[in-house]
Structure 1
Amino acid sequence: MSILVTGASGHLGRHVVDSLLARGVAPADIVAGVFTAEKGAPLRELGVTVVPLDVNDPATVTAALAGVSRVLLISGPDVANRVDGHRTVIEAAAAAGIELLA
């Protein structure tokens, strides 16, 4: 089971990743979707797979979902585009055959 965490380098997203690790999820089973590659470096140091993910760019969402079985959709700070970004992730996950959005 692999889990994509969107917004993983943000405040809440980082706490989610840390919580998954504390609960025994293997770092190799966590995919951290980050908007800025540099902010993903601390997660990469933990052994987490870090991928570029911009919820407003469907191509990055589709690429981030490759091989993922679950998605934890964490909202980012972009309130103006939040609904559209969430829709992009949800539709891409459905298209990828992911049945559970945790």
Structure 2
Amino acid sequence: MIVVTGASGKLGHHVINELLKKVPAGQIVAAVRSPEKTADLAALGVQVRQADYTKPETLASAFSGAEKVLLISSNELGQRESNIRQ
């Protein structure tokens, strides 16, 4: 399973669309802060999971089963290093 963080953003969305050309939708997880923003990906069969770095309790289930993680950086300057460490 491939987990893509930041999947509701432009780059994350683009990454998932490219992955869909090579990998079945059921093998892709869109890890996002607001799952309601990715209904279009869910309609394609992509698993959507909440992953909010400011809510560490959401991270274990978001990344569960991941064989690969594509970390698409957030736009929160100064937060990237601490987010990645989590």
For residue 56 of structure 1, give the secondary structure of its aligned residue in structure 2: coil
Structure 2 stretches of 5 or more lacking a match? none
Partner of 1:13: 12
What runs of 5+ residues in structure 1 fail to find an aligned partner? 89-102
Instruction: Provide, for residues 39-77 of structure 1, a one-character-per-residue CA deviation record: whole Å limited to 9, x for no partner.
Output: 121110111000001123222111111111110011011
Once residues 52 and 40 of structure 2 are traced to their aligned partners in structure 1, the CA distance between those partners, rounded to angstroms, is 19
- Cα distance in 1 between the residues matched to 2:79 and 2:20: 30
SS in 2 for 1:80: coil
TM-score under structure 1 normalisation? Answer: 0.79
Fraction of identical pairs, as percent: 44
TM-score by length of 2: 0.92
Q: Which runs of 4+ in 1 moved over 4 A?
A: none
The structure in which a higher percent of residues are helix is 1
Return the alpha-carbon distance in structure 1 between the equivalents of residues 20 and 78 of structure 2.
31
Tell me the equivalent position of 2:77.
Answer: 79
Root mean square deviation, CA, Å: 1.0
Which whole-Å CA distance do the structure 2 matches of 1:73 and 1:55 have between them? Answer: 12
Helix, strand or coil at the partner of 1:71? strand
Query: Across the two proteins, how many residue pairs are aligned to each other?
Result: 86
